[in-house]
């Protein structure tokens, strides 16, 4: 027969052997980063969740997060953002600190592009870009650039609309990441306004560049015009507004500074040098000459060029030179010959002036004339639209 005392000792030993939880339960810690798969850039300000431990943390500016005091064992981590594929992954939480990095696949696309003029390859500012299915839009800047971000991947239709250009409808497939391309627009044929050369810069002395003032052009009208009312229908057709009409005393022709309205392209209005089949303002029979105001509106070249000839130069040589370059003689003094540059000229005033200087051996002097005389200097009169 066992004694009661022995029974108590055996029970105490059994209880001690079976219960060895003489210390705290193991604790885990996880710290790490969330980055984009393709670029390895941090994904910031997004929630990271552990299901079993029922804890959540937000990534910081470096994409970092940290969980402390975790129960060890299997758990499920879930990361969800508006722009990436959802990540749901089974992990093992071990005792002590663990470092983990999670990579997210970007599930949205971007369209980055440039819109340019088909004829001149110049950027088009103010074009409206729209995606039909994604229903997002942007407007091109001064460099013709635009960006559409956070797009659903898949098929969509890109719509590009710009004043005086044919509407562009482009079916495309949006892929993940950046989709980059250039888009060319054609002048609307119904408007009858076709650029004929790149006049975004004008050249002086063969090297220095003077930009045109893109809100103004200067025009000399046909001798057939007796009343400025005859010109108004043409101005309305090409979205132009006349400023300071005046009658030139030497040629007895009407001239005017014209303000370009509604952001119409100035290239659509210039005299189409050597391209008489082009239909635009400068090619009209009512217009003898049309060119841009330059030097921010302070000086304008009015289509007059003057010459001095070497002794012995014949009238036949002069008339032949005029005909070759689309010039019309209108005034002659004892030493200077003045001629009009016309829409029959094959080059703009600057290129014509430079090319003629080296072409004809009997020329002693050739110069362009503006209202203040000579080359652009910033002097008045001022031909600027408000």
Are 101 and 60 a contacting pair, CB within 8 Å? no
Distance CA 18, CA 220 (A): 111
Are 137 and 156 a contacting pair, CB within 8 Å? no
Region(s) of the chain under CATH 2.60.40.10: 108-185
Are 154 and 174 a contacting pair, CB within 8 Å? yes
Q: Which CATH architecture has domain 108-185?
A: Sandwich (2.60)
| Backbone phi and psi for residue 341, each to the nearest 5 degrees, phi listed first | -80, 130
State the DSSP H helix or E strand holding residue 149, giving kind and residue range, or none if neither.
Answer: strand 145-152
CATH top-level class for 27-104?
A: mainly beta
pTM value?
0.54
Distance CA 148, CA 132 (A): 12
Region(s) of the chain under CATH 2.60.40.1120: 27-104
Angle at the Cα of 323 from the Cα atoms of 322 and 328, rounded to 5 degrees: 55
pLDDT, position 142: 87
Walking along the chain (386 residues) 10 residues at a time, the average pLDDT comes out as 49 48 81 88 93 95 94 94 84 94 84 88 89 91 91 89 87 87 83 63 60 79 91 90 83 87 74 78 89 70 87 93 92 87 83 85 85 48 64
Cα four-point dihedral sign 206, 208, 209, 213: negative
Which of these, 85, 31, 37, lies nearest to 60 by C-alpha position? 31
pLDDT, position 23: 66
pLDDT, position 192: 60
pLDDT, position 157: 93
Are 271 and 342 a contacting pair, CB within 8 Å? yes
pLDDT, position 56: 95
């Amino acid at each position: 027969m066992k004694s009661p005392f022995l029974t108590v000792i055996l029970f105490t030993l059994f209880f001690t052997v079976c219960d060895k939880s003489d210390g705290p339960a193991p604790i885990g810690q996880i710290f790490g980063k969330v980055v984009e798969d393709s670029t390895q850039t941090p994904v910031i300000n997004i929630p990271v969740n552990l299901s079993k431990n029922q804890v959540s943390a937000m990534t910081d500016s470096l994409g970092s997060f940290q969980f402390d005091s975790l129960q060890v064992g299997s758990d499920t981590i879930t990361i969800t953002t508006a722009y990436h594929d959802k990540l749901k992954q089974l992990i093992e939480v071990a005792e002590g600190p663990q470092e983990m990095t999670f990579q997210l696949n970007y599930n949205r696309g971007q369209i980055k592009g440039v819109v340019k003029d088909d004829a001149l390859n110049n950027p088009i500012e103010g074009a409206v870009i729209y995606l039909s299915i994604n229903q997002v839009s942007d407007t091109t800047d001064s460099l013709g650039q635009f960006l559409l971000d956070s797009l659903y991947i898949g098929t969509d239709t890109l719509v590009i609309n710009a004043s005086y250009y044919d509407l562009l409808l482009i079916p495309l497939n949006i892929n993940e990441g950046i989709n980059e391309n250039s888009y060319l627009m054609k002048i609307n044929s119904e408007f009858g306004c076709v650029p004929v050369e790149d006049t975004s810069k004008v050249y002086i002395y063969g090297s220095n560049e003077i930009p045109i003032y893109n809100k103004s052009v200067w025009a000399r009208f046909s001798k057939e015009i007796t009343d400025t009312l005859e010109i108004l229908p043409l101005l309305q057709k090409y979205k132009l507004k006349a400023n300071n009409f005046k009658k030139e005393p030497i040629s007895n022709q009407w001239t005017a500074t014209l303000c370009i309205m509604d952001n119409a392209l100035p290239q659509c209005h210039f005299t189409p040098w050597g391209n008489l089949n082009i239909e635009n303002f400068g090619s009209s029979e009512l217009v003898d000459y049309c060119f841009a105001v330059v030097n921010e509106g302070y000086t304008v070249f009015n289509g007059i060029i003057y010459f001095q000839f070497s002794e012995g130069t014949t009238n036949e040589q002069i008339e032949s030179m005029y005909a070759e370059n689309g010039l019309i003689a209108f005034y002659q003094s004892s030493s200077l010959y003045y001629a009009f540059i016309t829409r029959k000229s094959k080059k703009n005033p600057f290129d014509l002036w430079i090319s003629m200087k080296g072409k004809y051996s009997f020329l002693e002097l050739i110069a362009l004339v503006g209202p203040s005389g000579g080359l652009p200097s910033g002097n008045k009169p001022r031909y600027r639209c408000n």
